[in-house]
Structure 1
Amino acid sequence: MSEQPSRVIADPRALMAIAHPLRLRILEALALHGPLTATDVAHHVGESPANCSWHLRQLNKYGFIAEAGGGSGRQRPWRMVVDAHRWGVGEESPELARAGDAASQVLIDLEYRALREWLMTRRQETPEWRDAGFFNQAVGWCTPEELDDLRTSLSELFAPYLRRIEEASARPAGSRPVRLMGWGIPAATSEPGDGTEERT
């Protein structure tokens, strides 16, 4: 299986378009319930259709959503564009770095809230879902190449499940939306023997 193509975002305006909690809630509503009109989105996120319509146009402008076909105005349905996004790679202007940091912070805050909510409510789930849910934590030793390989492997593992956002017919009976997140970040350390000591 090949890795889902990544869209490297190098436009600070595109990153600022998603560095907004309401827009992330709109994207989530489209992923879970879409395609949706602005009126439908408003129902799911608790905002006015006019406000949602404006935010939908901003998300569309930068390629995060697309028209699903049919309807017009606020009754025009929108769908989420399912692709992998990356930013903060290669050389960055100060403006791009600030926008990337803001987008990352909003996304991480959203996921942390969802994880905390799961931990507090998981015992209300059926045993099958409660026992299937997980989060892993580990510290390992990697070269930069190995860490990049791990990122690619995780993207490949996630890809078939992400495709089901657009392909409702591919969702097996008994499936439901599941939040998938993974990260591998170099640990800051200066302990003896950590490989950072000066070599002569």
Structure 2
Amino acid sequence: MPDQQPREITDVDTLRALTHPLRLRILNAVGLHGPLTATEVAERVGESPANCSWHLRQLARYGFVTEAGGGTGRQRPWRLVTDGHRWGAGEENPELARAGDAAARVLLDLEYRKLWDWMAARRQQPAVWRDAGSFNQFLGWCTAEELAELQEEIRALFGRYVDRLADPAARPAGSRPVRLMAWAVPEVDGPVVDDADAEGDEAR
């Protein structure tokens, strides 16, 4: 399992590199089918090889893909960088916050579409896959520390399979791409248990 922490993106231009919907489609194609050349990416996303080649170079510039070795020009294969990325932690200046929100919006739009694709097609899938797929909703009480710990546990659990994105030989027979999109956020207008409330509960 990869031990590295996700890369913290604190650069506005790097975040803006993710706000183009085509780039996320390119990343998706390279992650699922890569390594791919610009020509192969173009066939999968329905764009021109020249356009895909330019976007791949931009994605490489900001650390989202890298050359896989071999080939030249548009026949160079590219692979996904699988170290993970996150943003929005700590203090943000307004420009960085706007860029982060825009990147998150484009990413969530893609993942929502993929979720609804599955919801529409799941009854035509083999039963073993239909039953293995999940759609969960939970509501509970956590401290900020517990919520941060939960986030790290989820990342570590799915991190066991991340190396299979970059290494097709690591994919076991019968496997297929699986998407995990999870969020755990505090209820904005929910009540907060303060110290006095907690002490009162203990006394009863």
Question: 1:107: which partner in 2?
Answer: 107
In 2, the alpha carbon distance for the partners of 1:195 and 1:54 equals 49
The one-letter amino acid of 2:131's match is D
Deviations 1:3-29 (A, max 9, x none): 542100000100110111100000000
| Comparing 181-190 and 33-42, the one that deviates more | 181-190
Runs of 5+ unmatched residues, structure 1: none
Q: Report the aligned-residue RMSD.
A: 1.7
Question: 1:129: which partner in 2?
Answer: 129
TM-score scaled by length of structure 1: 0.94
The alignment status of 1:77 with 2:84, answered yes or no, reads no
1:188: Cα distance to partner? 2.0
Question: 1:176: which partner in 2?
Answer: 176
Q: 1:195 aligns with which of 186, 192, 196?
A: 192
Question: 1:25: which partner in 2?
Answer: 25
In 2, the alpha carbon distance for the partners of 1:99 and 1:117 equals 27
Contact 1:3–1:152 (CA under 8 A) maintained in structure 2: no
After superposing on structure 2, the runs of 4+ consecutive aligned residues of structure 1 that deviate more than 3 Å are 1-4, 196-200
In 1, the alpha carbon distance for the partners of 2:102 and 2:151 equals 22
Report % sequence identity.
61
Contact 1:67–1:76 (CA under 8 A) maintained in structure 2: yes
TM-score scaled by length of structure 2: 0.92
Question: 2:61: which partner in 1?
Answer: 61
In 2, the alpha carbon distance for the partners of 1:4 and 1:197 equals 35
In 2, the alpha carbon distance for the partners of 1:66 and 1:2 equals 18
User: Any residues of structure 2 matched to 1:157-172 within 5 Å, and which?
Assistant: 157-172=157-172
The one-letter amino acid of 1:90's match is G
Runs of 5+ unmatched residues, structure 2: 198-204
The one-letter amino acid of 2:120's match is M
Question: 1:156: which partner in 2?
Answer: 156
Deviations 1:79-106 (A, max 9, x none): 1100111100111111110000000000
The alignment status of 1:48 with 2:48, answered yes or no, reads yes
Deviations 1:124-157 (A, max 9, x none): 1001111110011011101010000000000001
Give the number of equivalent residue pairs: 197
Question: 1:94: which partner in 2?
Answer: 94
Contact 1:4–1:159 (CA under 8 A) maintained in structure 2: no
Q: Secondary structure of 1:66's match?
A: strand
| Comparing 160-169 and 104-113, the one that deviates more | 160-169
In 2, the alpha carbon distance for the partners of 1:101 and 1:51 equals 25
Q: Secondary structure of 2:161's match?
A: helix
Q: Quick one: structure 1 residues 34 and 2, their matched pair in 2 at CA, closer, same or farther if it must change by over 3 Å?
A: closer
| Comparing 2-11 and 131-140, the one that deviates more | 2-11
In 1, the alpha carbon distance for the partners of 2:93 and 2:126 equals 48
Contact 1:3–1:155 (CA under 8 A) maintained in structure 2: no
